[in-house]
Amino acid sequence: MIGTRSLSPAAVFDALAHAVGCAGGPFRCPAENTAAEIVRGLRLPRTALAAVTGAALGIAGALIQGYTRNPLADAGLLGLNAGAAFLAALSIYLFGFTAPEQYIWFAFAGALLAGLVVFGAASTGRASPLALVLAGSAVAAFLQAMTNAVVLLDGTTLDTYRFWVVGAVSGRDASVFWQVLPFLAVGIALAALSGPTLNLLSLGDEVARGLGVHLGRGRAVGLAAIVLLCGAATAAVGPIAFLGLVVPHIARVWTGPDYRWLIPYSGVLGALSLLLADIVGRVVARPGEVQVGVMLAALGAPFFLVMVRRRRLAAL
C-alpha cells in the first residue's frame, strides 16, 4: 500500500486476487489497471526480494557468529561484502553495466571467491575461529583498496556503483528475485543442517571432536551456507552488513544459545527487519524514499545499543 503513490487495501487485495491462478504467475500476470501494475510489477517483487534476502542475511549472521565465536562478526568480517563489491565495480567499469540484473552474477562470484580464499587461507593449519577472522580481515582490506582504485578510475562507474553499495531493494524487478532464489534455498538448507554441529562446536573443538564431529567437514558445510546466503543476498541488494550483526542477538533473547532454534528465528526476524526498514524508508521522505541500507542502520544502531545494555542479552 505504501510508496510514492498510496493505494487502498481494497486496491491491493484486488490486484493480488486477480493474479491467483494466472498462467504467467503473479509477477508476469498482465495488469488490468494502474494499481495492479504498481502492486504486481513493482511492489510485490520488491517485497519478495526484501523478505528472502533479509532472512538470508539474518541466518548468515547467526552462522558467522557461531563459527567465528565472535559476537560482533558479520559478512564484512569474512570479506564477503568486499569480494562482491570488488567484482561488481570491476564489471561495471569493464563492461559498462548499469542495471542490477547485469552485474549481479559478478557480485555473487566475488563473494564466492572471497569466501574460498578466506577459508583456504585459514585452513592451512586448522580453520580455527581466530584464523577465519584474521584471514577475512586481510582479504576485506585488500579488496576494499582494489575497489576504491577501480571506482576512482571512472566517474560513470562510481555513479552506478554508489547506488548498489548503499544497499537497496528498490529498482529490482522479478528477474533478480528468481536469479538469487535457488542459491538462497540451498544456503538455507545447509544452514539448517549446521545447527547441531554449531551446538557442539560451541563447547570447544576438543569436546566436539570427542563427540564425533568432523571439524573440517562441519566448518566447510557452514561456510558454504554462509557464502551462498551472503553472496546471493549481497549481489541482489548490495552490502547490508548491520542486519547480520543485530538480528542474531535479538533472536537469542527467545532462543538462547541453541542454534537449532536460533537459525530459523534469525531468518524470520531478518526478513521482518528488512521489510520494516524498507516500509519506514518509503514513509519518512515521501514522495522520495530513504534506501533500506541507510534506514536499517539509522533504526538499528540505537535499538542495538539499548539491547546490549539489557543484562539478559549481555549474558548470552
What tens digit of pLDDT does each residue of 131-177 get?
777 888 888 899 999 998 888 888 777 888 888 888 888 878 888 89
pLDDT, position 300: 74
pLDDT, position 62: 92
Q: For residues 307 and 314, give the distance between their C-alpha atoms in angstroms, rounded to a whole number.
A: 8
Q: For residues 247 and 60, give the distance between their C-alpha atoms in angstroms, rounded to a whole number.
A: 10
Burial 262-278 (b: 16+ CB within 10 A, else e): bbbbbbbbbbbbbbbbb
The pTM of this model reads 0.87
| Cell digits of residue 281 | 524508508
pLDDT, position 308: 66
Q: For residues 151 and 99, give the distance between their C-alpha atoms in angstroms, rounded to a whole number.
A: 17
Average pLDDT on 197-215 reads 78
Residue type, 18: H
| Better-scored residue on pLDDT, 289 or 211 | 289
Q: For residues 295 and 167, give the distance between their C-alpha atoms in angstroms, rounded to a whole number.
A: 10
In the chain, the domains with their CATH numbers are: 45-315 (1.10.3470.10)
Band the pLDDT of 263: cuts 50, 70, 90: very high
Backbone angles phi, psi at 212, to 5 degrees: 100, 10
Contact 244, 267 (CB under 8 A): no
Query: Of 190, 164, 42, 171, nearest to 108 (Cα)?
Result: 164
Residue 208, pLDDT > 80, answer: no
| Better-scored residue on pLDDT, 60 or 201 | 60
pLDDT, position 316: 46
pLDDT, position 314: 46
pLDDT tens-digit readout, 50-80: 999 999 999 999 998 888 887 777 787 788 8
pLDDT, position 197: 86
